Amino acid sequence: MHGASDILLSLFTVFLGARVGEEIAQRLRMPGVVGEIAAGAILGPSLLGWLHPGEVLDAFAEIGVVFLLFAVGLETRLVDLKRVGLIAFMVGTLGVIVPFAGASGWAHLEGFAWNKAMFIAAAFVATSAGITARVLQEMHALQRREAHVILGAAVIDDILAMLLLGIVVSMQDSGVTDPWHLLVVVIEAAGFVLVVGWVGTRVARRRSGWLERPRMSMSVLSIVLALCLGLAWLSTRFGLAAIIGAFLAGLIASETEQREQLEHHMKPLLTLLTPFFFVMTGVKLDASVFLKPAALSMLAIATLIAVVTKLLGAYLGALKLGQRSALAVGMGMVPRGEVGVVVASLGLAAGVFTSEMYAVIVAMSLLTSILTPPLLGMLLRRAHQPEDGDRPGAARDSVR
Amino acid sequence: MHGASDILLSLFTVFLGARVGEEIAQRLRMPGVVGEIAAGAILGPSLLGWLHPGEVLDAFAEIGVVFLLFAVGLETRLVDLKRVGLIAFMVGTLGVIVPFAGASGWAHLEGFAWNKAMFIAAAFVATSAGITARVLQEMHALQRREAHVILGAAVIDDILAMLLLGIVVSMQDSGVTDPWHLLVVVIEAAGFVLVVGWVGTRVARRRSGWLERPRMSMSVLSIVLALCLGLAWLSTRFGLAAIIGAFLAGLIASETEQREQLEHHMKPLLTLLTPFFFVMTGVKLDASVFLKPAALSMLAIATLIAVVTKLLGAYLGALKLGQRSALAVGMGMVPRGEVGVVVASLGLAAGVFTSEMYAVIVAMSLLTSILTPPLLGMLLRRAHQPEDGDRPGAARDSVR
């Protein structure tokens, strides 16, 4: 992709495709994001071939999901996250352990040695919160308790997944893990999240008047966007996903006095940029996997394991919220998105994954993202209604 | 530049640099855009080397200037452009002829044959309206008559420059120009501008209610942004700059009922994206030209010719507005920006430009952009004041 003309055509195609897809999805009473992913799958190399993954579109996609998680953080109060802290911790932890165990067993049965099977299983672990965040936002559900649990758990999940990836990678080379190094890495990441979150929100609460002192135009938005980009980058330096840093930046901004003004200003930015993330998710789906029967059945099993184990682990962690809400939380944790793709790429480069397994894992990661929006939409609507035989307090809490 | 982490760091660096640069410029009572270009020059390869031109940053820069010209179009009414139509035509035409003649003569004196000298001169012709548009916007001068003349003239200038480039390129190969082909190209481009502008504004005036009928979120902004990207791309297909199409899209959107809402929504988008264009303008400045005395003196002369000829041509075209306003219009037409760079690249590829001439033309194009904001700012302030011995009506008109 070269030259201003080609780049403009790609951007135009992605944006128009996303908007048409969203419109169709809305009219079919599905979350708009379903239409955006479908538009990507149709426009991508597997079908029409009008769009291809590339550096520029990937960068727009990255910024899109970074700003989305920033906006989600902006609509989230730290106090709400703290209130569900224990449940979120349980959801994050069980939502890592169960998929890891299940996928390790499956990969071993498929003929991989245990150390390789565990590398493959690492691709089943990390939740990618982008899709879920978008569905929650579209359904105006970000203030519900399920949303707070999912967002808190996504942060914990990311830290644990990084730990796990560190362990399995080190198991490939020498069989010897340096536990001290891994411990340091995890403590650094957890420390980054805690220190930035704690200091940032305190400073924001007390000193938000400073945001209006510079003479530049739109100083509040400018400073906060710089914070978002800066923390997104910094979190990648600590081994975490960029969206974790963006979410932290949003949490910090949500404690400022200018919060509502910022929410208002973020809307046009999200309108322009988030479609790139979801359309490119669809573009990256390689439909050729579906044409080989052997790979197709492997993909079906892998996707089933990915969905069921994550759902089960997170559901068990969230049971305190009541069964229906726990189910919604579990479904919200299902998408693996680009994290699974990254692990699979590492595995392919390390010679651990076969090319067939790589294609399956990539397709599985994308399928979990594609399956989530319609199912999560349904479950969130159901969780809204009070249920018989369940703790009514939890159900009421979830409908604030 | 690879990987999400590096891209985020680049975007963060550009954005933060732009904002710090703007803040410093504002405090020194200069247009903010001066600070953004200076930030790019400091962060770029010539000095710190933290930023480099690349596909991703160039794409963000392109989108930034496209949206800027869209927003400028949004603040411009077609009726205002029509009112200054004749003056704008004179400014556009004389602003092409005088620089072309002056630069051809200079390049011939530098030892180039006439056909090559005219190719070089083509790089002196096309005005790049981005910088001027930004200064006009920052100074809240978009409703002044000078602004309408500049914007109208920029469209005419772009069509004529394309014609001229077609002529000089064809003069290199065979010495034979196919006048029919050139005529068709120019008629197509002029037809594109007239048809899109005329049909688009009529439809927008009568049917803007339709923008609110889709169910998607932010439907008005979405449709209009798609129009902007689509017309920007389409105008490159007609040989025009992308910003011409974006400006037309803005003109169309400015006739809708939702105009004020759109202006409001564009602000955060401009805050995020326009800095990329101006910072990258600074990044691309190759300071090594300034280290060779021979090239430096050549650059000084080329820049002087570029500024004086454009200023003179456009000034003569705009004299009806009064001397001070005509001077402001002339200065507003001075920046060549990326158009000069594109012509120089073509010339280098065609073997017409020496590498020294290429470096000089690129640096000249950027220098004209860098010189414009402070001088234009000064002239616009002066043109605001009534002048003795000049037609008072014109001066009053320009202060609406």
* pLDDT tens per residue, range B117-173: 988 999 899 888 888 988 888 888 888 999 999 989 988 888 888 778 777 876 776
User: Residue B189 and residue B187: Cα distance in Å, rounded?
Assistant: 5
| SS3 call for B348 | helix
Among the partner residues A22, A222, A229, nearest to B12 by beta-carbon distance: A229
Looking at chain B, which residue has its C-alpha nearest residue A268?
A: B265
Residue B349: how many other CB atoms lie within 10 Å = 10
Mean pLDDT of A291-297: 85
pLDDT, tens digit, for every residue of B166-213?
778 767 765 555 677 778 878 888 888 889 988 998 888 888 878 888
pLDDT at A292: 82
Closest Cα to residue A87, out of A182, A153, A43, A173?
Answer: A153
Q: What is the mean pLDDT of chain B?
A: 85
Question: Tell me, what's the pLDDT at A379?
Answer: 87
Domain locations in chain B?
3-397
Averaged pLDDT for residues B64-81: 86
User: Which pLDDT value is given to residue B391?
Assistant: 42
Size of interface A-B (CB pairs under 8 A): 139
- pTM for the complete prediction? 0.84
Query: Residues 6 or more apart from B391 whose CB is under 8 A from it?
Result: B322
pLDDT at B183: 80
Chain B interface mutation, best of A13, A215, A272, A273, highest count of B Cβ atoms under 10 Å: A272
pLDDT recorded at residue A388: 43
H-assigned helices in chain A: 3-27, 32-43, 55-74, 78-83, 85-109, 114-122, 129-138, 145-173, 179-207, 219-237, 242-253, 259-283, 293-317, 323-332, 337-349, 355-384, 392-397
Which residues of chain A lie closer than 8 angstroms to B230, CB-CB?
Answer: 12, 16
Residues whose CB is less than 8 angstroms from the CB of residue A174 and which lie 6 or more positions away in sequence, other chains included: none
| Helix A129-138 / helix A242-253 crossing angle, nearest 10 deg | 40
Rounded Cα gap, residues B374 and B26, in angstroms = 11
pLDDT score for B390: 44
pLDDT at B249: 94
Q: What is the mean pLDDT of residues A204-224?
A: 85
Per-residue pLDDT tens for A128-185?
888 898 888 888 888 899 899 998 898 888 888 877 877 777 677 655 556 777 788 7
Question: pLDDT, tens digit, for every residue of A95-114?
Answer: 999 999 999 999 999 888 88
Asked whether the predicted pLDDT for residue B55 surpasses 50, the reply is yes
Asked if A364 and A306 touch (Cβ cutoff 8 Å), the reply is yes
Residue A58 scores a pLDDT above 80: yes
Task: Name, in order, each residue with C-beta under 8 angstroms of A341's C-beta and a sequence gap of 6 or more.
Answer: A284, A361, A362, A365, A366
Token readout for A277 is 């993330």
More confident residue, A356 or B249: B249
Hey, are the CB atoms on A229 and B8 less than 8 Å from each other?
yes
Inter-chain touch A19–B216, beta carbons under 8 Å: yes
Chain B residues with CB under 8 Å of A60 CB are 59
pLDDT at B386: 52
Domain B3-397, architecture per CATH: Up-down Bundle (1.20)
CA dihedral A29, A32, A38, A43 (to 10 degrees): 130
Cβ–Cβ gap A4/B242 under 8 Å: yes
Q: Which of B23, B236, B265 lies nearest to residue A216, judging by beta carbons?
A: B23
Distances (CA, A) of B156 to A221, B83, B101, B127: 36, 15, 18, 10
pLDDT attached to residue A109 = 92
Quick: pLDDT tens for B332-383.
999 987 777 778 877 877 788 887 888 888 888 888 988 888 888 888 887 6
- Render the burial of A205-226: b for 16+ CB within 10 Å, e for the rest: eeebeebeebebbbbbbbbbbb
Neighbours of A185 (CB within 10 A): 16
CB atoms within 10 A of CB B46: 19
Q: How many residues does chain B have?
A: 400
Q: Select, from the ranges B77-81, B290-294, B318-322, the one with the highest average predicted confidence (pLDDT).
A: B318-322
Taking CB atoms and an 8 Å cutoff, what residues of chain A touch B225?
A: 15, 271-272
Predicted complex ipTM? 0.82
